[in-house]
Amino acid sequence: MAEATFISAAHPSQGGPATYFRRSFDVADGLVRASLRVTALGVFKAYLNGSRLGEDVLAPTWTSYRHRLHVTTHDVTAALAAGENVLGAAVGEGWAVGPLSWDMVRENYSDRPALYAELTLEYPDRTEIVGSDETFLVGEGPVRENGIYLGEHYDARLESAWSEPGFDTRDWAPAQRLEWDLDALVEGEVPPIRRQQELAPVSIDRREPSRVIVDFGQVVSGWVRFTVKGEAGREIVLRHAELLTSDGELERETLRKAESIDTYVLRGGRSETWEPAFTFHGFRYVEISGWPGELDPDALRAIVIHTEMARTGSFDTSHALLNRLHENTVWSMRGNFVGLPTDCPQRDERLGWTGDLNAFAPTASYLYDVRPLLRSWLADLRAEQAETGRVPDTVPNILTQVMPDPTALWSDAAISLPWQLYQQYGDERILDESYASMVALMDQIEQRLDDGGLWSRGFQLGDWLDPDAPADNPAGGKTEAHLVAQAYLCKTTRELAATARILGHRADADRYDALSERVRRAFREEYVSPRGRVTNESATAYALAIVFDILDDDQLAHAGNRLAAIIAKSKFTIRTGFAGTPLVTDALTKTGHIDPAYRLLLQTTCPSFLYPVTQGATTIWERWDSVLPDGTVNKTGMTSLNHYALGAVADWMHREIAGLQRVAPGWSRIRIAPQPGGGLAHARAELETVRGTASSAWRLDGATLTVEAVIPEGSTAEIALPFTGESHEVEAGTHRWTYEIDPADAARGTLTIDSTLNEIVVDHEAWQRVLAVLQGAMPGIPIEAGLAHIGDQPLSALIAQIPAEGIAARITTALQNGES
């Protein structure tokens, strides 16, 4: 009975071929059950007698390997037969060995790929174990190069029956032991990465006789599978990108140093189907060169991968661009939940940044059931925090340079993420698992406060990627970084106090309640005037003070008015970064400014939520202007086109537009309170909660409003009917109200010829229809340029000066989504 250990080749991989392992063993008659526990330093594919085991890809997923390395268990009873059998595995560099981060540092965990395998054979009278040790043999195969950033080079001419009985192993060498703490192995805690969807090409553009550009219509994470037939030795090269240049070539600026190139060398003679196994790419477009003959679109599929998660939430409205914004948010989450919640899936980064996830967590936990993945990620956070004494900026952390001090929003993930998961799922175990981590972070922050309770020392990332920050300093936005830190501290102290109370730590709860009041008082003394004006006069400063309940009730109205004025002054373009964006629409809503919130959301001028949508975006961008209006990439070195953080506004869309609101943990108490506006005719949000389906929907037909709600078993709800002031208490079931409202309320946000030009321009689709009418009436006149100085005037004033017959009626039709 052999004890399994990690094994490897004799020498470091140095970026070369994948490592192939095999072990021949005998199975006696009477086998009752067989199971295989397997993992690797790197990513692996396991085989028995030539057949691939399991559906997981890129296993083991990236965790904090030294603390938690995931082991997969397969029932392999049916794959074995009496007599000789062969256990095989191919192991690529993956995250353990290959280069990571923009520094391209190799060997973050190991200098070579390594395998751990334990095959247990159960007989009626005994148990035998085939464990990875020096009796395994090591060789090479068709995978000649591989890397997460690099791509994969596969030479099909080198394919063989290497994992089957009878294979000639004369060129193979004995494996060597590799020291690794087996206590780090964990099972059942990490959900797998799997293929989720296949996309067909939407277009193929032939650039040269044997070179084409393929558009799959959607930015995704994954790779391309293809079927080809050609002569032996022909190389097919696939280069990946998120965007095309103006002349239709790949724009690879967003990849930075990640090559993202797959190469396949044909075996020849018959049809061959291939997809990579040791890499993945963030892409929409693929350049394919070397293809023999005509390329049939049916020969290609983009394979979409992400961590196995159940979809739970949906959202829909009558506004096409808004629906696409929400869909872009979903796709960015899918593209970045590949093993762990990353910032981006395409470039030389793909790291688990804590702040990105913290900002996005309410949206993420609505769209998908993220409990298995994020509880695993939090376990890594706790392990690395315990080892180093600080919450890492990225989890797992491999950065060579780290911020020495806790940073608001980023470090806060240790407190706010467990709190968010508890609120969504109602499971106190999530809080209990992280409580020591939460306390350790808060105690560390408290030591950095001055005598007045102000967090005024140490580096902060502030309102990261404020659109007004210098291109070379994303942390240098309008809002003072320590104001942001103090505001978030007001939030996390309350969350920690509440957590302590829930878990029965009453002394801690009292202590953190007192700290919460201390830091809130310090914020107000430093940053808030008696009437409620907030230092910096920025949208983010006001949003933080309003949403985090830092202001007194008598200050809220003034602060809300100031925020609305700031938003209006910017012509309803967005002026917030990672810290303020998830909150600004909530702050407007909380202070009674729902119409400005809608106008901010529906603006299409850069920078805005919908500007990327008007530019053809299919995911959320890292910067508001990652692609400039002329179609070129913003060359700042930070222009990912798949970066979910700024999609955090979807949480507000679910709660305020559709009106589906959680009042108590686990959705035991619900509030249905939709806020129709923005010219929308209907909206709906539906969520599969831990108690069952909950939904809120409304539809406006003229002045008739219908509100529908579905409440799951075990929940109660308050229904706040829009425009009536009425509320109703209901139990589980389906509920419906239809009633007439004031025509003025029905028209809220609806565009008419009396709307100002600024109001109309916010709605990109409506403005394009109006513009078409105006250009038809005044051909050859540069209308948009001429209107720039009268944006605050009603459209009717302009129409009155145009002699074209029936133009008012045509523009009215255009504004009502009719034909222009």
> Where does 229-374 show beta strands of DSSP type E?
235-241, 243-244, 250-251, 261-265, 272-274, 281-289, 300-307, 313-317
pLDDT band at 32 (very low <50, low <70, confident <90, very high): very high
**Mean pLDDT, rounded, for 190-195:** 96
What does R_g of the chain's alpha carbons equal in angstroms? 29
Burial (CB count within 10 angstroms: exposed 0-12, middle 13-18, buried 19+), residue 40: buried
Helices and strands, number each (H, E), in the chain: 20, 34
Element housing 546 (H / E): helix 539-547
Distance CA 543, CA 562 (A): 11
Residue with tokens 């600026």: 253
Lowest mean pLDDT among 377-386, 406-415, 475-484, 628-637: 628-637
For residue 749, the model assigns a pLDDT of 73
Residue 756 has pLDDT above 90, yes or no: no
For residue 622, indicate whether it is catalytic. yes
Q: What is the pLDDT of residues 326-356, one digit of tens each?
A: 999 999 999 999 999 999 999 999 999 999 9
Q: Which of 622, 686, 708, 759 is catalytic?
A: 622
Residue 819 neighbours by CB under 8 Å, 6+ apart: 813
Better-predicted residue by pLDDT, 804 or 637: 637
Instruction: Take residue 197 and report the two structure tokens written for it.
Output: 């969807």
Element housing 413 (H / E): helix 413-425
DSSP secondary structure string, 40-54? EESEEEEEETTEE--
For residue 819, the model assigns a pLDDT of 39
Lowest mean pLDDT among 161-165, 401-405, 759-763: 759-763
For residue 349, indicate whether it is catalytic. yes
pLDDT band at 754 (very low <50, low <70, confident <90, very high): confident
Confidence (pTM)? 0.94
For residue 820, the model assigns a pLDDT of 35
Distance CA 644, CA 368 (A): 14
**Mean pLDDT, rounded, for 674-691:** 97
CA torsion, points 376, 350, 242, 622, in degrees to nearest 10? 90
Cis, peptide link before residue 396, omega less than 30° from 0: yes
Average pLDDT, the chain: 94
Q: What is the pLDDT of residues 530-571, one digit of tens each?
A: 999 999 999 999 999 999 999 999 999 999 999 999 999 999
For residue 401, the model assigns a pLDDT of 82
- Beta carbons within 10 angstroms of residue 686's beta carbon: 18
Q: Which of 349, 384, 708, 759 is catalytic?
A: 349
Better-predicted residue by pLDDT, 659 or 15: 659
For residue 792, the model assigns a pLDDT of 65
Instruction: Take residue 38 and report the two structure tokens written for it.
Output: 């397997």
Q: What is the pLDDT of residues 426-436, one digit of tens each?
A: 999 999 999 99
In the chain, pLDDT over 90 holds for what percent of residues?
A: 88
Q: What is the pLDDT of residues 104-162, one digit of tens each?
A: 999 999 999 999 999 999 999 999 999 999 999 999 999 999 999 999 999 999 999 99
In the chain, pLDDT over 70 holds for what percent of residues?
A: 97
**Mean pLDDT, rounded, for 741-761:** 79
DSSP secondary structure string, 11-33? S--TT-SPEEEEEEEEE-TT--E
Residue 14 neighbours by CB under 8 Å, 6+ apart: none
Give the strand pairing for 669-672 and 716-720.
parallel
The answer to whether the CB of 667 falls within 8 A of the CB of 642 is no
Distance CA 42, CA 28 (A): 33
For residue 250, the model assigns a pLDDT of 97
**Mean pLDDT, rounded, for 624-652:** 95
CA torsion, points 583, 649, 432, 37, in degrees to nearest 10? -150
The answer to whether the CB of 604 falls within 8 A of the CB of 610 is yes
Domains of the chain: 6-142+157-188 (2.60.120.260), 195-307 (2.60.120.260), 313-657 (1.50.10.10), 661-746 (2.60.420.10), 757-815 (no CATH)
